[in-house]
Amino acid sequence: MHASCKPFINVIRPSGHAMKLLIAPAAFKGSLTALQAAQAIEAGWTKVFARHQLTLFPFANGGEGTAALLTQQRQGTLHHYEVRDPLGRPVQAALGLVDNGQTAVIDVASASGLHCLQREQRDPIHASSYGTGQLIRHALDLGVGKIIVGLGDSATNEAGAGLFQALGGRLFDAHGNLLGDPCQGGNMLELAQVFHIDLSEFDPRIAKTRFELACDVSNPILGADGATRVYGPQKGVAEDQMPAFEAALTAVAAVLHRDLGIDVTRRAHSGAAGGIGAMLMVACRASAFPGASYVMEACGLEQKVAEADLILTGEGQSDQRSAQEKVPLLVLDLARRQRKQAIMLSGAIRDASNLMLSWPAASMFATLTENKAWEDMLASAGADLEMCAYNLARTLKMARELPL
């Protein structure tokens, strides 16, 4: 007779059951790193559901946090090295070692990222990727066979010239003069004079190393959709400096083509991280990938979605803009394909009615609930996201009581 009751017992889950929640937000650009966003959601959620099993997946797509995420998700170890920051000052940058020491994971943001600078320090004329080159050297010293480089959130717009020099590459002008080390006060606009590339002192281990790039954007290095035009402004490129920067990147791309035989100007991702994409593709024969998809695969996110009961994702501002891979949309799609429930929590949602009808989320919520000045939004982003998650969790908890 108890047998006949069993189906019911299976259906009823005890209150406080350890539901599995996957928290996979992107960075809230300008206010929260992906990790901060995930932690804010966690903080709000656990105030309501203390026993849920939470998995934090701070979804980096090439930019800040990419090395840390891949290293953590693949059970590697993080190592820190003192290298040069974008302005040549010492900075501790991270390098992850995974696959039993066979693969290194770095991201350009760690040594050469915008986050290294105060807003008023943004200085694309002098900002160099030299420190990222030093990190690559450290990886080579560790004897890895493969280096994964996350491209995104760089403070630089110099086509990886600094990185190239750190690896032993040399750049000459038409008169045979060596272009100086940008971290010694060099001016990136002088790259417009570059005429010849010399690999005679380039680190020979690079040729034996496989490079994979996780790029947060697919833009090419030049043109109206290029690195300078689209991402220059957020790095401090003034409108009247655009032509000079474009000329510098054009010269580097031309020399890469002529001396090393590869034309990257039409390649997707060549404009990633201020053109570092282009340099790595040519000088290091790197393969470039869309960052979000790459990270998703490299971290086995599909499996984590499969193990979760509910997935939360989000970003600073959600809209229909479809030029780049949208992290939340990728997560939502992954959930949909596995018939998992997913909810989006974003800072703001533009044209929400259309988004709600077109994106595969069970529901979506904005942390913004009133008109706010930009600065106020950014200042309260963490607290607002925590409160939004708290509010959502309370809604779900309440739902248990309803005869829905």
CB 344 within 8 A of CB 392: no
**Number of residues near a second copy (by CB under 8 A):** 53
Residue 92 or 369: the one with the smaller Cβ distance to a second copy is 369
Residue 50 as a binder of a second copy (CB under 8 A): the answer is: no
- Shortest separation between residue 349's beta carbon and a second copy, angstroms: 4
With CB under 8 A as the contact rule, which of the stretches 104-112, 199-207, 209-217, 369-377 interacts with a second copy?
369-377
CB-facing half-sphere around the CA of 104: CA atoms within 13 A = 24
Residue 187 as a binder of a second copy (CB under 8 A): the answer is: no
Residue type, 36: Q
- DSSP reduced 3-state for 361: coil
Residue 78 as a binder of a second copy (CB under 8 A): the answer is: no
- Sequence-distant (6+) residues with CB within 8 A of 89 are none
With CB under 8 A as the contact rule, which of the stretches 13-21, 184-192, 195-203, 330-338 interacts with a second copy?
13-21
With CB under 8 A as the contact rule, which of the stretches 28-36, 128-136, 173-181, 391-399 interacts with a second copy?
391-399
Residue 199 as a binder of a second copy (CB under 8 A): the answer is: no
**CA 41 to CA 173: how far, in whole Å?**
52
CB 170 within 8 A of CB 231: no
Q: First-to-last CA distance in the chain?
A: 29
CA distances for 341 relative to 19, 234, 344, 403, angstroms: 12, 35, 10, 20
Which of 337, 358, 383, 389 binds a second copy (CB under 8 A)? It is 383
Q: Which backbone phi and psi does 97 adopt, to 5 degrees?
A: -115, 120
Residues 332, 335, 337, 341, Cα dihedral to 10°: -110
Beta strands 348-349 and 194-198 are unpaired
Residue 193 or 380: the one with the smaller Cβ distance to a second copy is 380
Which of 108, 179, 365, 381 binds a second copy (CB under 8 A)? It is 365
Strands (E), 165-320: 170-173, 194-198, 210-215, 287-290, 310-313, 317-318
DSSP 324: S
DSSP 13: P
With CB under 8 A as the contact rule, which of the stretches 25-33, 141-149, 280-288, 365-373 interacts with a second copy?
365-373
Which of 245, 382, 384, 389 binds a second copy (CB under 8 A)? It is 384
Residue 395 as a binder of a second copy (CB under 8 A): the answer is: yes
Residue 379 as a binder of a second copy (CB under 8 A): the answer is: no
Q: Please report the sign of the dihedral spanned by the C-alpha atoms of residue 332, residue 335, residue 339, residue 343.
A: negative
Helix (H) or strand (E) holding 365: strand 363-366
DSSP 75: T
Residue 349 as a binder of a second copy (CB under 8 A): the answer is: yes
Residue 136 or 392: the one with the smaller Cβ distance to a second copy is 392
Residue 105 as a binder of a second copy (CB under 8 A): the answer is: no
Residue 220 or 382: the one with the smaller Cβ distance to a second copy is 382
DSSP 33: -
Q: Could you give the string, one character per residue 307-346, with x where binding to a second copy holds by CB under 8 A and - elsewhere?
A: --xx------x-----------------------x-x---
**CA 35 to CA 19: how far, in whole Å?**
21
Which of 11, 50, 75, 240 binds a second copy (CB under 8 A)? It is 11
Residue 11 or 174: the one with the smaller Cβ distance to a second copy is 11
- Shortest separation between residue 352's beta carbon and a second copy, angstroms: 4
Residue 287 as a binder of a second copy (CB under 8 A): the answer is: no
Which residues sit at the interface with a second copy, rule CB under 8 A? 1-2, 4-5, 8-9, 11-13, 15, 17, 19, 49, 309-310, 317, 341, 343, 348-353, 356, 362-366, 368-372, 380, 383-384, 387, 390-392, 394-404
